[in-house]
Each structure stands twice: as structure tokens, then as C-alpha cells.
Structure 1
Amino acid sequence: MKYFTYLAVSVMIIAVISLFYLKKPNGETWLSTSVVINESQQIKDKIISFTSNTFEQAVSSVSNTPSTTRSKIFKWQDRQGQWHFSDTPHPNGKSVEVKLDPKDINVVVAQDTAILSGSSKSSAVNNTSATPTVYDPVSIKKVFDDAEKAKQKLEQRTKQLNDLNGF
């Protein structure tokens, strides 16, 4: 199987390279570096325009407003040092307007959206019977307990090895 794979890859490489040397009936080669460069540039331009259009559509669909109009975002810090973000300035404190560049925004899919529907307490109760998430306190405690047990076993084995070697 390994040699067949080498043979198949070699035949494919020879076939692609031969396109640079074989000529059409009109005398031109089937493939040239200028054609490859032009085609790759066109594909790159299409991808860039597609991604920017898709981003603009995603922003406008989420905000229900055209992406050309930008709303202001303000941040302020409470007495405990916690930062808050809002579309209106804080009435009792100093707010700073935040300027966001759409190119710097990363959208990440939420793992648990139960908090958005207001049922975070019920999801915590149900979460113990379902597959635990990374943020489940029970699974975090189990990870720490397992790590402590592994540490103890490693220390015991290290001590046994040191006793056998006479250290």
C-alpha cells in the first residue's frame, strides 16, 4: 500500500509538470506560470471580497441595522474594579467611548446558552446528569482530585525508585 501511494503521487506530480511542457495544437503550453499567477490572484481577490461581504452581512443581520452606521460603545469601571460595557454612558460615573475595528472582532460560538434564556439555575441542576462542560464546578473538582491522586502516585513511585537505587 505504501509503494502504491508513492507511485500514485509520483504519477500525479509528473502529470502536472508535463502540463508545463506539452503543447496545445496552437503551439501554447497547457499550463504556464503566468496563468497560474493570474488565476491564483483572481481566486484570492474573490475570497477576500466574499469574506468581507459575508462579514458585512453577518454584522448587519445581527444588529438589524446597516453595517455602515456604527453605534457607540462605552465602558466604565465599578467600585469593585469590574469593567462594564454598554451602548449608553454610565449616568453616575466616568465612561470611555470604545472604538471597535470590525477586523478585530472574533465571533465565538457559546457552549452553554441557557443563561441567555434565564434558566441558568435549571441548567446547572440538569448539567450534572448530562455531559459536564468545562465550567461545571463538579467536573473541575474531579479534575483537581484526579490530579492530586496522580501526583501522590508519582511521588510514591519516585520514592520506591530512589529506595531501589540507594539514593
Structure 2
Amino acid sequence: MKYFAYLAISIMTIALISLFYLKKPDGKTWLSVSSMSDKSHHIKEKIATLTGNTFDNAVHNVKQASEKIVSSTASNSKIFKWQDDTGQWHFSDTPNPHAKSIEVKLNPKDITVIAAEDTSILNNTPKVSSMSAASETISILDPDSVQKLFEDTGSVQDKLEKRNKEINSLSGL
């Protein structure tokens, strides 16, 4: 196998070198160093031109889009902030009717525009966990609460065992 590889490489090398000596019907060789360097230089120039133009166009388009967003945000809308009873600050485009709202002035030069992410998850209403509501009323001193914890633990364990069996049956174990 090693000798076959050496033979194949030798034949390919001889074929490539012969292209520098064999002549076309017009008398020029099939390959020459000058024609290869001219073509490679021409290709490099085309690539540099295309890359530069594409990059310049992309930068220009991003600047235009960000200027439009910043100007429309800064000129057409107001932002209000207020603090709730727990000290948490809230920001909105409408003032809070139940608390004193402060209008925030934005400097367009301070705004950074970033790509929006998928916010479809925000449209779903969060489900209230029965565990969080129950955990506030559970006391370790109350025997009924302790019994409820053991029952919940048993049901969770049963569900986990059932799921493991389903996974094992699907994976063929």
C-alpha cells in the first residue's frame, strides 16, 4: 500500500510538471509561473474589492438602521420610572396611575441598539406552582403536614420510576 501511494504521488507530480513543458496548439505552455501569478493577483484584487464593498455596505446599513431606531425612540416616546412599596424600580412608556412617576430623558448617543431575541415566552402566563404555595404553610411540627410531605414524596418517586421505565423501553434497554 505504501508503494502504491508513492507511485500515485510520483505520477501526479510528473503530470503537474509536464503542464509547464507541454504546449498548446498556439505554442504557449499550458501553465506558466507568470500566468499563475497574474491570475492569482487578479483574484486577490477582486476578493479585496468585494470584501471591502460588502463590509462598507453592511456598516452603512447598520448605522442607518440604528439611527432610525434611536431617532424614533428618542423623539416619539417618553419613558417613565417609579418605585413600588418594596423599593423596586419600574420603567414604562406610560406613567403609573397609582404612584408618582418621573419622566426619564434619554440621550440618543447613550443608547446601544442590539438585536432582539425571541420574546414569545413572555406572552405565556406563568403557572403558579402548588409546591410554592404549600411550602409556606407546611410546618414540621404539624403531623398532617409531615404526612402530606411523605405522600407527595411517594408520588414524585412513583412518577420518576414510571418515567425511567418509559425511557428504558424507548431506548431498548
Decide: shared fold, TM above 0.5: no
Which TM-score bucket, shorter chain as reference? Answer: 0.3 to 0.5
The normalised TM-score by structure 2 is 0.36
What TM-score, normalized to structure 1?
0.37
Question: Quick check: which has more Rg, 1 or 2?
Answer: 2
Greater helix fraction, Structure 1 or Structure 2 = 2
Higher relative contact order (CA 8 A, sep 6+): 2
